[in-house]
Amino acid sequence: MLGVLRAEELPRAQAVEEAAVRALVGQKSIIVGKVAEAFESPKGMTFLNLEGGKFTAVVWKDRYDKFVGGSPAKLYKGKAVEITGTVIEFRAKGASKESPGKLEIKLYSPEQVKVIGAEAPAPTPSEPAPEDQAAPPAAPDKGAAEKPAAPAEAKAGPVNAKKYFK
């Protein structure tokens, strides 16, 4: 098809760089950032606010069934993501035309959201761990001093994200 851009050809911007995102209004683009806030409104919409507070991805409740696990607010909060879609400038009713509108992309399917980097979800228990993570511990060096055992907290399982990400 002519005129269709592949993802690697789309313009990209970091969500925290408002001027760069604003320059993409009206264009299909990729916006990159970390989901700082994610919530559902009483009217049935989910808002994924990326760090910097200048960009939001919006999902209507009638699209939730396309997202495995339901609400995108629960799926993406705290994760680094790439959001693909047409950047729009939303102005609430009664907002001044002189004041800049909120920059956003409307999400219609999970294919528009890619979790990136270390924030990607861990494998499910049914999936084997990658080989590079399952390497056996190295044999102790006879000339090396005994290392103290790791603190119990390090062996205790998953970290409580709420403790570290407020």
Q: Give the whole-angstrom CA distance, residue 138 versus residue 12.
A: 43
The more confidently predicted of residues 99 and 39 is 39
Neighbour-count burial for 129-151, b at 16+ CB within 10 Å, e otherwise: eeeeeeeeeeeeeeeeeeeeeee
Query: What pLDDT, in 10s, does the model give residues 37-46?
Result: 999 998 889 9
β-pairing, 88-90 vs 80-86, is: unpaired
| Band (17; pLDDT cuts 50, 70, 90) | very high
Nearest to 81 by CA among 108, 106, 53, 57: 57
Question: Which pLDDT score, from 0 to 100, does residue 5 have?
Answer: 57
Kindly state the percentage of the chain with pLDDT values over 90.
46
Q: Is residue 20 part of a domain?
A: yes
Give the pLDDT band of residue 156 (cuts 50, 70, 90). Answer: very low
Separation of alpha carbons 164 and 166, rounded Å: 6
pLDDT category of residue 28 using cuts at 50, 70 and 90? very high
Amino acid 80 reads: A
Start-end of H helices in the chain = 18-22, 72-76, 152-155, 161-164
> Which residue carries 């606010």 as its tokens?
49
* Domain-located, residue 166: no
Q: Is residue 164 scored above 80 in pLDDT?
A: no
Whether residue 149 is contained in a domain is answered as no
pLDDT at 20 > cutoff 90: yes
Beta-bridge partners for 141: none
Look at residue 69 and tell me if it is in a domain.
yes
Residue 57 has pLDDT above 50, yes or no: yes
Considering its fold, how many domains does the chain have in total? 1
CA angle 14, 122, 45 (to 5 degrees): 55
Q: Where are the alpha helices (DSSP H) in 38-110?
A: 72-76
In terms of residue numbers, what domain contains 47? 7-92+100-119
Q: What is the per-residue pLDDT for 4?
A: 58
Is residue 148 a part of any domain in this protein? no
73 part of a folded domain: yes
Mean pLDDT of the chain: 76
Phi-psi region of 133 (alpha: psi -120 to 50; beta: other; left: phi over 0): alpha
Domain with residue 65: its CATH number is 2.40.50.140
Residue 51 lies in a domain: yes
Decide if 26 is inside a domain.
yes
For residues 58-65, average pLDDT: 91
Across the range 144-158, mean pLDDT stands at 45
